[in-house]
Structure 1
Amino acid sequence: MSTLHDNNFDLKMIGLSDFNFTVTDYFITKEQPWDGISTSSNQKGAMITAKAGRKGSKETADWFKKNIINGSAIGCQTIDKLPSKLNFAFKGTMSFSHNGNSYIGKDIVIGQGHTAAFRNNWWIGGTNMSTLTDLPVGILSIIAQNFNQGKFLKAKVTFTISVGDVSSMGLNTISI
């Protein structure tokens, strides 16, 4: 029998508020339970909690890759460019407020896998995401996507993996 777990993914950003993720599609390994996601935020960041089973499959990773098409992805505690197995994955729209500005990003894909160190690691990607290079010391990976900011403005939102991150990533905004 499959077990339903609370799988927590933290996005760290000082001053974040009103975080939300609206799921438009998801995929989970056959016969594993899925009870959706919930979100919360405080002044230190946001948390996405996926209520789901944990059985990795190639089919779930293939769904994740299909949904980022020609975009990019990063994963915690891995050197792989894309996941080979995932427990579950979901796609949707992320929104939040920071320093009085509202941000909305579409077609973001998030998934949970498993590392060789017996830990459940997280992946994020999307069709509109690109991997950044020239990383500072202690930063393993950075990926960025343009988000709508207000009616006409755009901002670049980055997701950052630092040394030791397994179930969390940094979140930052850059005006463009």
Structure 2
Amino acid sequence: MSKVKEHANDFDLKMVGLSNFNFIVGENYSITDGQPWNGVSTTTNNEGATITVKAGRKKSTEVAEWFEKAIKNGSAIGCQTIDKLPKKLNFACKGTMSFTHGGNSYVGEDIVIAQGSTTGARNNWWIGGPNMATINDFPAGILSIISQNFKQGKLLKAKVTFTVFAGDVSSMTMNIISI
């Protein structure tokens, strides 16, 4: 019988100049039966933000199926994988991401993050959502880019991209493109 253990699972989003970062999940999450879930917290530092999910790490197809349903017809990317969607995940959660950058506040809704594992048994991260779109034609060294429109107030003001570089396992880079 395996031991049930809660871990502080950190997912770093790199963006210099980021402040007031938050990811609000509430009760919109999935975790393998019997595994602990103790919520999501965030911190901001001079290199970006960290989302910490306090949860167990037992992967299942049920959580991956929940992730796929949560992103609906949108798109997703994962670290250290070329798969379009995960086959098994430890946990997944859907929420609203908000932050300040360059004096402007941004809000993105229905963002889904999840943790699975690579074939090398390293825990890797996924991000996606029903409003996410995959970007093609990127330079060498970049594995995947995904983007979503974010609001400033009630107006669409920017597209936020999430980029996975070769070697990223527990982090992605964020950028803002004005629209």
- Check if 1:46 corresponds to 2:46: no
Contact 1:101–1:150 (8 Å) recurs in 2 = no
Q: Which moved more, 1:146-155 or 1:107-116?
A: 146-155
Corresponding letter in the other structure for 1:11 = L
Corresponding letter in the other structure for 2:151 = N
Aligned residue in 1 for 2:78 = 75
1:99 to 98, 102, 106: 102
Aligned residue in 2 for 1:146 = 149
Q: Distance in 2 between matches of 1:3 and 1:161?
A: 28
Aligned residue in 2 for 1:90 = 93
Q: Distance in 2 between matches of 1:151 and 1:132?
A: 25
- TM-score of the superposition, structure 2-length normalised? 0.96
Superposed CA RMSD: 0.8
For 1:4-153, what aligned pairs fall within 5 Å after superposition? 4-24=6-26, 25-153=28-156
The Cα shift of 1:137 comes to: 1.9
Unaligned runs of 5+ in 1: none
The DSSP-based 3-state class of the residue aligned with 2:54 is strand
Corresponding letter in the other structure for 1:118 = A
The Cα shift of 1:154 comes to: 1.9
The Cα shift of 1:153 comes to: 4.0
- TM-score of the superposition, structure 1-length normalised? 0.98
The DSSP-based 3-state class of the residue aligned with 2:42 is strand
Q: Deviations over 1:26-83 (max 9, x none)?
A: 0000000000011000121000000000000000000000000000000000110000
Contact 2:162–2:173 (8 Å) recurs in 1 = yes
Give me the identity figure in percent: 69
